[in-house]
Chains A and B, each alone.
Chain A
Amino acid sequence: MPEQPHDDGAIAATGMGGAMDLAMSEAETLEKRPGGDGGGPADKPRSLWSDAWQDLRRNPVFLIAALVILFLVVISIWPSAIASGNPLKCDLANAQKGSSPGHPFGYDGQGCDVYTRTVYGARTSVTVGVCATLGVAILGSVLGGLAGFFGGVWDSVLSRITDVFFAIPVVLGGLVLLSVVTSSTVWPVIGFMVLLGWPQISRIARGSVITAKQNDYVQAARALGASNSRMLLRHITPNAVAPVIVVATIALGTYIALEATLSYLGVGLKPPTVSWGIDISAASPFIRNAPHALLWPSGALAVTVLAFIMLGDAVRDALDPKLR
């Protein structure tokens, strides 16, 4: 590793706002390691997190993925910033027409502007992905973490429950549960994903808490008389959260894909909600005459999922020193 001025990292971290600073200082107090591996001055120990951040800042894959995600978040908050039209305003006279000035992606089978609908579809996908991931991550890590920490009967029961959920194919469960839902909002879909997704995170959180629990500093804290909640919050959580973050980031991408798949099967979101899945499904019968109506939302979907998976991948590589 070339000589890396350490204050450079500090500037970047403050530039990111308080969050990164906090993570750095918090992590530093937790994991005192002998001076950096040839990096900055030896008197400043580098934690797993600041080490990972140093790695990520120079990883082009991470930067590209982060930019794409930032762009997606911005257009899901202000879709009108780049698309002036109304996604629900359609004119059958324009059905299946190709691109024309002002309508770069052409029109779909109902004569709606594909560009506007693709831009507005981002909001749905990002909402579903973020909400489902948050729900799954919170529910899964709380249940799995507590089971891993306390062990005993609750742990065995939870393990059997996760086994049960793993045995049910996801798309199948979605078809069965969501086929009765008439609401056109995103919430039933998110609820379903949380219901079927939490065992995945809970299993990872459990394993990771069990590993962290055996560390010497946790034993030391216990010997010093720390309470369970203090051990969990101060010592175990910061050291067990990395695998959960990685898996959750990758899962976010798969939830977006799952939403589109369910919408394609006709049980996910329903019109008038604007979603890439609905648009792809609606365009598939006209695939011969108007492939553009299928290709643009598919492309947007693929790029979005790709960005989240790449982000998770980059974070994992940065957090996993074994592969360096």
Chain B
Amino acid sequence: MGRYVIRRLLQMIPVFIGATLLIFLMVNVMGDPIAGLCGDRQCDPATAAQLRKEFGLDKPVWQQYLTYMGNVFTGDFGTAFNGQEVTELMSTAFPVTIRLTIVAIFFEIVIGITLGVVTGLRRGKPVDTGVLLGTLVVISVPTFVTGLLLQLLLGVEWGWIKPSVSTDATFDELIVPGLVLASVSLAYVTRLTRTSIAENRRSDYVRTAVAKGLPRRRVITRHLLRNSLIPVVTFIGTDIGALMGGAIVTERIFNIHGVGYQLYQGILRQNTQTVVGFVTVLVLVFLVANLLVDLLYAVLDPRIRYA
């Protein structure tokens, strides 16, 4: 197990370097950050040169990347052009997005798996067809449309929720945004659980469990569910990174000041340090979540042993 973890950690290094380098290059392609800093006016050439020197923008890109990564590993994510520390922005933005992601994952697990089990056990029945059609509709309506419609109905028309989230972004304010963020993944979790349950239901171990007279509830929770959840856990694990990165749309609709908001502002203002810093952390979250999922395999499925 220990050796497996170390091997996986080593494998993460090239992916981490590749992904951050890719983002670094993309951001550099994005255009001249100094031009964005001066606003609409043309920058004074001397000031621009001074700023370039100050931020190290006069050096070649690979050198900038190395310097930046060196700083990141000492905990210095640099300073945004407005003088605010990027780490300071992160410390306000990440808790909000993490709360939003927790709400979304909660919905995925509770609603998604429940619906998946119910439909998987009743394949071909009206419940199954209905839920399946429902998931198709949810998948095909893009998140921003779902978000806008829910905001219109619940927030504006019926007044059940506040249409926009306050800067505190407490859990109760994040219920509807979390549901919107989770919606598409929720549908995938339902379908995945359903397929998995339906497939495993015909397996030998389930027949054995039924044959030896175990109560139905125990067959389902102990034998069927535990084996069927393996692909679902993988999906939810990889989804953590995707949810945090994809929260841009949801955060924009409900005016949540989280990671997506900061990133969006950073990109609009061509704020290199903010964008690269946030993306670096998001990539790390994604990689670590994937590693945890692989380790969780062993817990769920004793047949898997890591040497």
Check if A and B associate.
yes
By a CB distance below 8 angstroms, the chain A residues around B286 are 167, 169
The reply to whether B18 and A172 contact each other, CB–CB distance below 8 Å, is no
Complex: A280 Cα to B249 Cα, angstroms: 14
By a CB distance below 8 angstroms, the chain B residues around A284 are 148
By a CB distance below 8 angstroms, the chain B residues around A31 are none
Which of A270-324 touch B at CB < 8 Å? 280, 284, 287-288, 291, 294, 298, 301-303, 305-306, 309-310, 313, 322-323
**Binary contact readout B289-300 vs A (1 if CB under 8 angstroms, 0 otherwise):** 000000000000
In the assembled complex, B69 has its CB within 8 A of some CB on chain A: no
The reply to whether B144 and A288 contact each other, CB–CB distance below 8 Å, is no
In the assembled complex, A176 has its CB within 8 A of some CB on chain B: yes
The reply to whether B275 and A169 contact each other, CB–CB distance below 8 Å, is no
**Binary contact readout B3-24 vs A (1 if CB under 8 angstroms, 0 otherwise):** 0000000000011101100110
**Binary contact readout A114-152 vs B (1 if CB under 8 angstroms, 0 otherwise):** 000000000000000000000000000000000000000
In the assembled complex, A221 has its CB within 8 A of some CB on chain B: no
Complex: A120 Cα to B149 Cα, angstroms: 23
In the assembled complex, B27 has its CB within 8 A of some CB on chain A: yes
**Binary contact readout B22-36 vs A (1 if CB under 8 angstroms, 0 otherwise):** 110011011100000
The reply to whether A173 and B26 contact each other, CB–CB distance below 8 Å, is yes
Complex: A257 Cα to B249 Cα, angstroms: 13
From A161, A176, A257, contact of B267 by CB (8 A)? A176
The reply to whether B18 and A176 contact each other, CB–CB distance below 8 Å, is no
In the assembled complex, A253 has its CB within 8 A of some CB on chain B: yes
The reply to whether A164 and B18 contact each other, CB–CB distance below 8 Å, is yes
The reply to whether A160 and B144 contact each other, CB–CB distance below 8 Å, is no
The reply to whether A309 and B136 contact each other, CB–CB distance below 8 Å, is yes
In the assembled complex, B283 has its CB within 8 A of some CB on chain A: yes
In the assembled complex, A260 has its CB within 8 A of some CB on chain B: yes
**Binary contact readout B208-251 vs A (1 if CB under 8 angstroms, 0 otherwise):** 00000000000000000000000000000000011011101100
By a CB distance below 8 angstroms, the chain A residues around B19 are 164, 167-168
Name the distance in Å between A109's Cβ and chain B's nearest Cβ.
14
The reply to whether B145 and A280 contact each other, CB–CB distance below 8 Å, is yes
The reply to whether B26 and A177 contact each other, CB–CB distance below 8 Å, is yes
Asked whether A168 and B139 contact (CB < 8 A) given A175-B248, A176-B267, A301-B145, the answer is no
By a CB distance below 8 angstroms, the chain B residues around A167 are 15-16, 19, 241, 283, 286-287
The reply to whether A180 and B30 contact each other, CB–CB distance below 8 Å, is yes
From B142, B145, B241, contact of A169 by CB (8 A)? B241
**Binary contact readout A157-183 vs B (1 if CB under 8 angstroms, 0 otherwise):** 000110111011111110111011000
Name the distance in Å between A103's Cβ and chain B's nearest Cβ.
23
Name the distance in Å between B57's Cβ and chain A's nearest Cβ.
16
The reply to whether B263 and A288 contact each other, CB–CB distance below 8 Å, is no
From B26, B144, B245, contact of A280 by CB (8 A)? B144
Name the distance in Å between B280's Cβ and chain A's nearest Cβ.
11
Name the distance in Å between A1's Cβ and chain B's nearest Cβ.
16
Interface of B is mostly: helix
Name the distance in Å between A64's Cβ and chain B's nearest Cβ.
12
Complex: A173 Cα to B23 Cα, angstroms: 8
Asked whether A302 and B137 contact (CB < 8 A) given A173-B26, A175-B263, the answer is yes
By a CB distance below 8 angstroms, the chain A residues around B30 are 176-177, 179-180
From A172, A264, A302, A309, contact of B279 by CB (8 A)? A172
From B139, B140, B198, B245, contact of A171 by CB (8 A)? B245
By a CB distance below 8 angstroms, the chain B residues around A160 are 14-15, 18
By a CB distance below 8 angstroms, the chain A residues around B152 are 287-288, 291
In the assembled complex, B66 has its CB within 8 A of some CB on chain A: no
Complex: A179 Cα to B267 Cα, angstroms: 7
In the assembled complex, A261 has its CB within 8 A of some CB on chain B: yes
In the assembled complex, B76 has its CB within 8 A of some CB on chain A: no
In the assembled complex, B199 has its CB within 8 A of some CB on chain A: yes
In the assembled complex, A265 has its CB within 8 A of some CB on chain B: yes
Complex: A309 Cα to B136 Cα, angstroms: 8
In the assembled complex, B99 has its CB within 8 A of some CB on chain A: no
Chain B residue at minimal CB-CB distance from A306: B140
Complex: A175 Cα to B259 Cα, angstroms: 14
Chain A residue at minimal CB-CB distance from B263: A172
Which of B139, B283, B286, B287 has the most CB atoms of chain A within a 10 A radius of its CB?
A: B139
Chain A residue at minimal CB-CB distance from B191: A313
Complex: A280 Cα to B137 Cα, angstroms: 18
From A177, A280, A298, A309, contact of B29 by CB (8 A)? A177
Complex: A262 Cα to B299 Cα, angstroms: 39
By a CB distance below 8 angstroms, the chain A residues around B244 are 169
By a CB distance below 8 angstroms, the chain A residues around B148 are 280, 284, 287, 294, 298
Told that A167-B15, A167-B19, A169-B286 touch, could you supply 13 new A-B pairs with CB distance under 8 A? Answer: A160-B14, A163-B15, A164-B19, A169-B282, A170-B245, A170-B246, A175-B263, A175-B267, A176-B26, A176-B27, A180-B29, A253-B140, A309-B136
What are 7 A-B pairs at a CB distance below 8 A? Answer: A160-B15, A165-B22, A173-B26, A176-B26, A177-B30, A260-B142, A264-B249
Q: Which 9 A-B pairs have the closest CB atoms?
A: A169-B245, A164-B18, A306-B140, A305-B140, A167-B19, A257-B142, A302-B141, A298-B145, A163-B15
